[in-house]
Structure 1
Amino acid sequence: MALDLADYETKARDAVMAFWGNREKARQKQIEAGKVDQGERAGVTGGKNMDGFVALVKDIVHANGLAHADIYQERRVLTLPGYFRPTKLWDLLVMNEGRLIAAFEFKSQVGPSFGNNFNNRTEEAIGTAHDLWTAFREGAFGEQTKPFVGWLMLLEDCPKSSAPVRDASPHFPVFAEFKNASYAQRYNVLCRKLMQEQLYTVASILTSPRAAVSSGDYAQLSDMTGLRTFVSELAGHVAAEASRT
């Protein structure tokens, strides 16, 4: 049976428009209330900015044989046991007959502070995955096949995220792929390595300018870290699970 990618390109554009639109609505709401967060935080505190991508994942799951899977997106039911910590809160979980089918992290980053945020996101992504797979190895989820673990980042496309960045490493040289790489390129390297090290089934980076609020335009940095790979791998994983039930 052919995989169903659920018209992902159209839905991704809708998700991007919703992302920028929700940020602006949150900012305007705070302005009207007379209490505005500093910097870009005013557009983040709405909490629903990546829901369009959540909806896309749900459509992929339903379209590829798991129409009756349990899909959790409410905070109170999004925790999984960890190994180095008691629990970890995820952004979306898919369960079927008591088995963990998939776990997702949806991230976004909007300027101007790309440097510290990139480092924080990197450390968080690595730690989260290592914790989950160690817990899996130790039987935290019972006897089951490996779940799909997805990481998706939407990064603002702007001069600060696309300009070359220099690093100071006085004792040893940095790896060549990071030299003068922009933050967008660094996220692409991160996603590629997260997959190569088998920390995530798929890790994807999309970039989009603020003007995409009316168009949903987004760009991908490589086929390996692009959205088609993300949805194709997810659809295949879901279809394999469906064939076992």
Structure 2
Amino acid sequence: MFEDLDSRVSDVVQHYYMTLSGQAEEHEKSDNVAHGRRPEVLGGQQMNGFAGLVEELLVEAGVPRDAVKHDYHATLPGYYRHEKEWDTAVVYNGNLLAAIEYKSQGSSIGNNLNNRAEEVIGNNTDILKAYEEGLFEPSPAPWIGYLMLFVDDDESRKTRSLREPNFPADDEFQNAGYIDRMELLCLRMLRQRLVDGATFLLSNEDIGINGEYREPNEELEFERFARSLVSHVQAHIDHEQDTLFD
């Protein structure tokens, strides 16, 4: 399952940039796209290729395909709001096992980076509180995942000044570029257990069209993210099945 993971992630990164450049249909017909993914998952929006890859990894681990839901079918109740449409949710036998968001950041980083941070922190706080208040009973604690594909160029690497009219910003944000800030967000969410898995990928149009990407932080590698997700979901499904046949 994980032996060819690098090449499968490469395919999805390529699909993302092919979609941006209007070449996605040609790419989907080529041998570069891993076989077996549902066309309606792979096609459409740029990040849907990641949803397709996650689905295939779960199915290969024995998770029923109809338990892996996307977009509208992955809508879940919240605590501070009535509902949210997640990118992927795993719901098996009435149990919520996982909820995942896939995001990308290209141009206009300065305007969008704080919005991304507010969005993911709010979403994850909301779903965890919903679980604590029993909205998903009798589900176990769901596995929460966040994936970010971030642009890697001179602009995103450049050191940014901070506005500190009242108090100094955290030391970790001093002399940091946009890439550093987003990596720190992902890492802190993971270490503070606001997510169970976070992955941070870097690429750009010049290299991404060939499927090239890099992972700057070992703790945020896609393989760790995928292994943790699959292990969590698989363990709960195995437990359900063992209980059924006891």
TM-score range, shorter chain: 0.7 to 0.9
Shift of residue 169, structure 1, vs aligned partner: 0.8
1:190 aligns with 2:185: yes
- One-letter code of the match for 1:56? L
Which of 216, 225, 237 is matched with 1:242 structurally?
Answer: 237
Given that 1:64 and 1:242 are in contact with CA atoms closer than 8 Å, whether structure 2 keeps it comes out as no
Question: What are the equivalent positions in structure 2 for 1:48-197 lying under 5 Å apart?
Answer: 48-73=45-70, 75-111=71-107, 113-197=108-192
Cα deviation, residue 21, structure 1: 0.6
1:18 and 2:23 correspond = no
Equivalent position of 1:212 in the other structure: 207
Counterpart contact for 2:92–2:237, Cα < 8 Å: no
- Runs of 4+ residues over 4 Å off in structure 1: none
| Corresponding residue to 2:224 among 229, 239, 243 | 229
Deviation at 1:47, TM superposition (A): 5.1
Give ranges in structure 2 of 5+ residues lacking alignment. Answer: 25-42, 242-246
* Shift, 1:171, TM fit: 2.1
2-structure distance, mates of 1:97, 1:21: 37
Amino acid in structure 1 at the alignment position of 2:58: V
Displacement, 1:56?
A: 1.3
In 2, Cα distance between equivalents of 1:181 and 1:53: 28
Which amino acid in the other structure matches residue 98 of structure 1?
Answer: G
Report the Cα distance in structure 1 between the residues aligned to 2:117 and 2:94, rounded to whole angstroms: 31
Deviation at 1:188, TM superposition (A): 0.8
* Cα pair 2:69 2:90 within 8 Å, conserved: yes
Q: Distance in 1 between matches of 2:184 and 2:85?
A: 25
Distance 1:118 1:101 in 2: 29
Say if 1:5 and 1:235, in contact at 8 Å, map to a contact too: no
Give 1:6 shift. 6.2
Which residue in 1 is equivalent to 2:244? none
Q: CA RMSD in A?
A: 1.8
Q: Retained in 1: the 8 A contact 2:55–2:65?
A: no
Decide which moves more: 167-176 or 127-136: 167-176
Contact conserved, 2:61 with 2:230, CA < 8 A, in 1? yes
Which runs of 5 or more residues in structure 1 are unaligned?
A: 28-45
Q: What amino acid maps onto 1:187 in structure 2? A: M
One-letter amino acid matched to 1:14: D
TM-score, structure 1 as length reference: 0.85
Identity among equivalent pairs (%): 33
Instruction: Give the aligned residue type for 2:89.
Output: L
Q: Which residue of 2 aligns with 1:9?
A: 6
CA distance in 2, matches of 1:99, 1:172: 45
- Contact 1:152 / 1:205 at 8 angstroms: preserved in 2? yes
Q: 1:223 to 1:211 in 2, by over 3 A?
A: same
SS at match of 1:105: strand
Q: Secondary structure at the residue paired with 1:15?
A: helix
CA distance in structure 2 between the partners assigned to 1:156 and 1:209 by the alignment:
5
Choose 5-14 or 203-212, whichever is displaced more.
5-14
Structure 2 Cα separation of the partners of residues 65 and 6 of structure 1: 17
Matched pairs, number: 222
